[in-house]
Every structure is written in structure tokens, then in C-alpha cells.
Amino acid sequence: MLIFLEKNKNLTRKERERLLKRFEILDVAANLFATKGFDGTKLEDIAEASEFGKGTLYNYFENKEDIYVEIINRITDDYLSELKKISTKSKTLCEFISQLIDYLVEFVAVDRSAFLMLLRLRTEMNAIEKVRKSKVIKNYRIEATKIFKSKINLAIKNKEIEKINPDHFVILFRNLTFPYFHSILIMKNKSRSVLQTKKDLVEAGNFIVATLFNGISKR
């Protein structure tokens, strides 16, 4: 909240309020989209959950698709900028991957609906034209791949890892982490405290890193 106020100092009170309300709607909508998907989420659901009238939503967004796209754009944007930070900070590939996984653990714990939406993204893209055409998302994919590949190539050069096909590893990592974490979330969903969930995620993260780098074979 303080960050929000800081960032938007130069706006009028009205404008800030408007932004805050947009946030609220996006937040509520993200939760719904995350659990029910795009088609499963009715505009009325968003209205009710955000405690606005149906019509009011249209004062803040052009239509349902736009709400969805804006959420996805924000999420991918955030994720990309974090990726860049971690990329700069880390030296070895192993460090990079470890830190990224730490971030993802945090991410899943803090904003589960964002996580779920990213998880669904590939599937939903088919149904939502504007998502398919979103420049932000296209850019995110391209940039993220670039960062990963440069890290891998460097690691190969530095003899940190074997000579592998960078593309393969990028795909593998991307497809592994998100669904893996998701499984953790849903498998033990009911009987678990928030704390335990986090512990499980951390453990899962460690397992992923260990397996990717050393394999499971007896050495």
C-alpha cells in the first residue's frame, strides 16, 4: 500500500482511488479466473465478489477479456522483471535455478491465484483471442527464454554442466516447475496449514534442483 502511494504521488486523490479500485477488481477476478478458468468465471461472479455492480466493472474495464488480459499481463511482467533480477544476481546456473525456485516458492505462497493463472495460461490462450495477441505475453516468453538460454550456455562454457541442448532444458524446466508445485498444492490441500504448505514447497524445490543437477542414480 505504501509502495502504491509512493509510486502514484503525482496523481490526484480520485485517480489514486480509481487505480485502487481497479486493483481490487483485478485481484478478485484473478482469484476467480484461477480457480474456475475464463469461461467458468461469470462477470456476475466478479461483480459479486468485488462487491460492485455488474455495470460498474465496465467503468473500469472494456470487457471481460480485458480484465483477464490485464491480469495476465501484470503477472508475466512481474515474473519477467524478477527473472531479470535473479539472472543478474546469480553466478552459476545452479545458483540461478536455486534462487528462481526460491522465488517461485514465495510466489506460489503469496499469490496463489497468479500462480494458477500462469499454470492455465497455455490452455486458456486458445480460447481468448486477446491473450493470444498480447504483446506483453509474447515478449515475456521471448525474454524469459533468452535469459535462460544465456545462463545455460554460460554454464556449459564454464564447464559447470554437460553439453546439453539449451532449448531442451528451458522447456523441461518451465514445464516441470509449475505443474509440480501445483501438484503439491492440491495433493495435500485440505489437511494442511499454510506453514506446512510452504515447507512442502521448499522441500519440493530442493528436490527439483537436486534431481536436475545430479540425477537420481546412485553415485
Partner DNA sequence: AATGAATGAGCTTTCATTCAT
Partner DNA sequence: GATGAATGAAAGCTCATTCAT
Q: What's the CA gap between 116 and 123, in Å, rounded?
A: 12
Q: What's the CA gap between 164 and 184, in Å, rounded?
A: 29
Asked if residue 65 lies in contact with residue 125, where contact means CB atoms within 8 angstroms, the answer is: no
- Should residue 27 be labelled a site residue for DNA when binding is judged by CB under 7 A? no
Region for 152 from its dihedrals, namely left if φ exceeds 0, alpha if ψ lies in -120 to 50, beta otherwise: alpha
List 8, 59, 81, 123, residue binding a second copy (CB under 8 A): 123
Q: What's the CA gap between 138 and 88, in Å, rounded?
A: 22
- Should residue 129 be labelled a site residue for DNA when binding is judged by CB under 7 A? no
Which residues, in sequence order, are CB contacts of 159 under 8 Å at separation 6+? none
Q: How far is CA 125 from the centre of its chain?
A: 15
The gap between the terminal CA atoms of the chain, to the nearest Å, is 51
Q: What's the CA gap between 87 and 100, in Å, rounded?
A: 9
Which of a second copy, DNA, none binds 191 (CB below 5-8 Å, type-dependent)? Answer: none
User: Per-residue x/- mask for a second copy, residues 9 to 38, rule CB under 8 A?
Assistant: --------------------------xxx-
The region of 63-71, 96-104, 153-161, 208-216 touching DNA under the rule CB under 7 A is: 63-71
Which of a second copy, DNA, none binds 219 (CB below 5-8 Å, type-dependent)? Answer: a second copy
List 133, 142, 171, 199, residue binding a second copy (CB under 8 A): 171
- Should residue 18 be labelled a site residue for DNA when binding is judged by CB under 7 A? yes
- Should residue 149 be labelled a site residue for DNA when binding is judged by CB under 7 A? no
Q: What's the CA gap between 16 and 196, in Å, rounded?
A: 37
- Should residue 176 be labelled a site residue for a second copy when binding is judged by CB under 8 A? yes
**What values do phi and psi take at 214, rounded to 5?**
-115, -10
- Should residue 174 be labelled a site residue for a second copy when binding is judged by CB under 8 A? yes
- Should residue 14 be labelled a site residue for DNA when binding is judged by CB under 7 A? yes
Helix (H, G, I), strand (E, B) or coil at 1: coil
Residues at the interface with a second copy (CB under 8 A): 35-37, 39-40, 94, 119-120, 122-123, 126-127, 159-162, 164-165, 168-169, 171-172, 174-176, 179-180, 182-184, 187, 203-204, 207-208, 210-219
Applying CB under 7 A, which residues contact DNA? 14, 18, 21, 41-44, 51-56, 58-60, 63-65
